[in-house]
């Protein structure tokens, strides 16, 4: 039966090169972490250019190919990729300079300059500047003050702010034009079609199901359904630009500090999803693309923060599980993991385990994209324990050198239903040990 369900014995096609979730720079190997230490030690020894070499080696993600450094003795140039923007810089005996082109402004605009002047006050390391028609952000430092910490946080502020702002500024001000986006990787229309159709499908399914629930009595469950939907779209569809901004605004409705009750917050999120649901392919496709990243837009947290989110969900899932609301129960457990992925820069093995969780829950979506994910057949409620355990072993084994105490107890997993599996899988994640020694 398993052979028929999961196609054992057949040659598996290569999975497509599609990434999911927000980029995490909390994925450095032991060798990369050592390069940070090298950079710090070399700077203290006043070996500034060797320190810069080590620093950019630390930043470089071999898979992303996100950093380009060219050095000639005591001078050089560099490029750092961050989403839709490129940081371009140079250094010599005197200083290190970096800048990003935000947009083109053919004619001076007072509203644009006023906005940038206001936003300048929120910057710690960088600043906005106008170079003829080119609107840009800049960061610079005396070479003798360019220690690894200053470089990291200065370049990170420059890259993340610019990547977020370029699309929003162009959309808000007619005087601005998009520039310097040639490096963005376009994706096939077939992939865009899958992402668009599943996003619309998930929104419709969630809103239709919510309409069958009592808005007051199930306000907590509805909140879980809406938030997990938002985080799922963020994680699996990977929208960018204006589309991402609209999704983030939906999430903000719930977490905003005001006097509104859960029912009111839910209604606001529902209205936000209805606006997304009304978008045509022509409105969505431009914001579905791939890009290289260097910095995470969120920061790492101690694993206990993720543990607390999972434990809270585990307590809340009990009633929905015991009273035959499996859809809500599964979304409660999904929320704990997707919220963590959305909010924190997770260690790579944990991110990979979250991806496995999503591949099990949303096999049809992954297969539509061309992935081979023979983990769970939802129609037959049949798991493939062997494939699941093998994938977990691969994830844990790949990071054993960095996290020698990392273990996953396979015997705790339950395969009698998706709710049971999701709960047992999530619970085991709370026992992971990410200590490096």
In a shared domain, residues 209 and 347: yes
Q: 351 and 283: one domain?
A: yes
Look up the CATH number of the domain holding residue 112. Answer: 3.30.1460.10
Instruction: Tell whether 160 and 194 lie within a shared domain.
Output: no
Q: Is residue 184 part of a domain?
A: no
Q: What is the pLDDT of residue 436?
A: 80
Q: pLDDT per residue over 250-262, tens digit each?
A: 999 999 988 889 9
Per-residue confidence (pLDDT) for residue 341, from 0 to 100: 93
pLDDT, residue 251, reads 96
- Exposed, middle or buried by CB within 10 Å (0-12, 13-18, 19+), for 22? buried
Number of separate domains in the chain:
2
Residues 198, 140: one domain?
A: no
Instruction: Assess if residue 263 is contained within a domain.
Output: yes
Residue where a domain stops, chosen among 172, 200, 225? 172
356 is a domain residue = yes
pLDDT digits (tens, 9 = 90+) for 227-270: 999 999 999 999 988 899 999 999 999 999 888 899 999 999 99
In a domain, 3, yes or no: no
Residues 6 or more apart whose Cβ sits within 8 Å of residue 272: 246, 249, 250, 253
Listed residue (153, 79, 146) closest to 123, CA to CA: 153
Displacement of CA 200 from its chain's centroid (Å)? 20
Q: Tell me whether residue 275 is in a domain.
A: yes
Report pLDDT for 104: 87
Looking at the fold, whether 246 and 105 belong to one and the same domain comes out as no
Domain end marker among 139, 172, 205: 172
5 located within any domain: no
168 & 193 share domain? no
Q: Which of 64 and 52 is assigned the larger pLDDT? A: 52
Is position 1 within any domain?
no
Do 152 and 230 sit in the same domain of this protein?
Answer: no
Taking 60 as the threshold, does the pLDDT of residue 13 lie above it?
A: no
Residue by residue, what is the 3-state secondary structure of the chain? CHHHHHCCCCCCCCCCCCCCCCCCCCCCCHHHHHHHHHHHHHHHCCCHHHHHHHHHHHHCCCCCCCEEEEEECCEEEEEEEECCEEEEEEECCCEEEEEEEEEECCCCCHHHHHHHHHHHCCCCCCEEEEECCEEEEEEEEEHHHCCHHHHHHHHHHHHHHHHHHHHHHHHHCCCCECCCCCCCECCCHHHHHHHHHHHHHHHHHHHHHHCCCCCCCCHHHHHHHHHHHHHHHHHHHCCCHHHHHHHHHHHHHHHCCCCCCHHHHHHHHHHHHHHHHCCCHHHHHHHCCECCCCCCCCCCCCHHHHHHHHHHHHHHHHHHHHCCCHHHHHHHHHHHHHHHHHHCCCCHHHHHHHHHHHHHHCHHHHHHCCCCCCCEECCCCEECHHHHHHHHHHHHHHCCCCCCCCCCCHHHCCCCCHHHHHHHHHHHHCCCCCCCC
> So what's the pLDDT on residue 1?
47
pTM over 0.85: yes
Residues 306 and 220 in one domain: yes
Same domain, residue pair 353 and 389 = yes
Taking only the tens place, the pLDDT of each residue in 160-204 is 998 888 777 777 787 777 777 777 888 999 999 999 999 999 999
The model's confidence at residue 14, banded by pLDDT at 50, 70 and 90, is: confident
| Average pLDDT score over residue span 90-117 | 89
Please check whether residues 261 and 378 belong to one and the same domain: yes
Task: Check whether 380 has a pLDDT greater than 90.
Answer: no
* Domain ranges, residue 69: 30-172
List the single range of 5-14, 287-296, 307-316, 366-375 with lowest mean pLDDT.
5-14
Task: Write out pLDDT tens, residues 309-337.
Answer: 999 999 999 999 999 999 999 999 999 99
The span from the CA of 271 to the CA of 174, in Å, is 27
- Choose one of 172, 197, 217: the last residue of a domain: 172
Whether residues 168 and 271 share a domain: the answer is: no
Q: Quick one: tokens of 298?
A: 């969120």
* Predicted pLDDT at 214: 96
Same domain for 332 and 305: yes
Q: In this structure, is residue 68 part of a structural domain?
A: yes
């Amino acid at each position: 039966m398993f052979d028929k369900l999961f196609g054992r014995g057949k040659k598996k096609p290569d999975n497509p090169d599609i990434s999911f979730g927000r980029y995490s720079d909390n994925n450095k190997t032991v060798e990369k972490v050592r390069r940070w230490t090298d950079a710090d030690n070399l700077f203290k020894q006043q070996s500034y250019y060797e320190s810069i070499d080590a620093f950019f080696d630390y930043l470089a993600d071999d898979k992303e190919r996100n950093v380009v450094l060219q050095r000639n003795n005591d001078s050089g140039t560099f490029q750092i990729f961050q989403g839709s923007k490129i940081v371009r810089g140079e250094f010599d005996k005197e200083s290190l300079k970096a800048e990003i082109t935000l947009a083109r402004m053919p004619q001076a605009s007072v509203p644009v300059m006023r906005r940038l002047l206001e936003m300048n006050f929120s910057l710690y390391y960088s600043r906005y500047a106008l170079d003829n028609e080119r609107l840009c952000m800049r960061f610079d430092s005396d070479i003798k003050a360019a220690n690894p910490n200053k470089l990291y946080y200065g370049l990170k502020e420059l890259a993340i702010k610019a990547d977020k702002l370029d699309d929003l500024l162009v959309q808000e001000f007619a005087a601005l034009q998009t520039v310097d986006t040639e490096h963005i990787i376009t994706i096939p229309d077939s992939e865009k079609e899958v992402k668009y159709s599943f996003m619309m499908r998930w929104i419709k399914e969630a809103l239709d199901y919510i309409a069958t629930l009592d808005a007051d009595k199930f306000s907590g469950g509805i909140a879980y359904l809406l938030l997990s939907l938002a985080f799922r779209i963020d994680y699996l569809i990977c929208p960018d630009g204006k589309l991402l901004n609209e999704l983030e605004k939906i999430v903000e409705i719930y977490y905003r500090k005001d006097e509104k009750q859960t029912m009111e917050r839910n209604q606001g999120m529902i209205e936000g999803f209805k606006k997304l649901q009304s978008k045509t392919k022509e409105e969505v496709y431009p914001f579905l693309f791939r890009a290289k990243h260097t910095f995470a837009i969120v920061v790492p947290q101690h694993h206990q923060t993720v543990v607390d989110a999972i434990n809270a969900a585990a307590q809340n899932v009990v009633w929905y599980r015991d009273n035959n609301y499996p859809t809500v129960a599964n979304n409660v457990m999904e929320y704990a993991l997707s919220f963590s992925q959305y909010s924190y820069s997770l260690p790579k093995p944990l991110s990979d385990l979250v991806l496995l969780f999503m591949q099990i829950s949303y096999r049809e979506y992954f297969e539509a994209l061309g992935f081979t994910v023979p983990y769970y057949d939802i129609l037959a409620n049949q798991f493939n324990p062997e494939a699941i355990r093998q994938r977990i072993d691969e994830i844990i084994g790949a990071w054993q050198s960095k996290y020698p105490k990392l273990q996953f107890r396979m015997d705790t997993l339950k395969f009698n239903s998706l709710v049971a599996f999701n709960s047992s899988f999530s619970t085991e994640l709370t026992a992971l040990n990410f200590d490096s020694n």
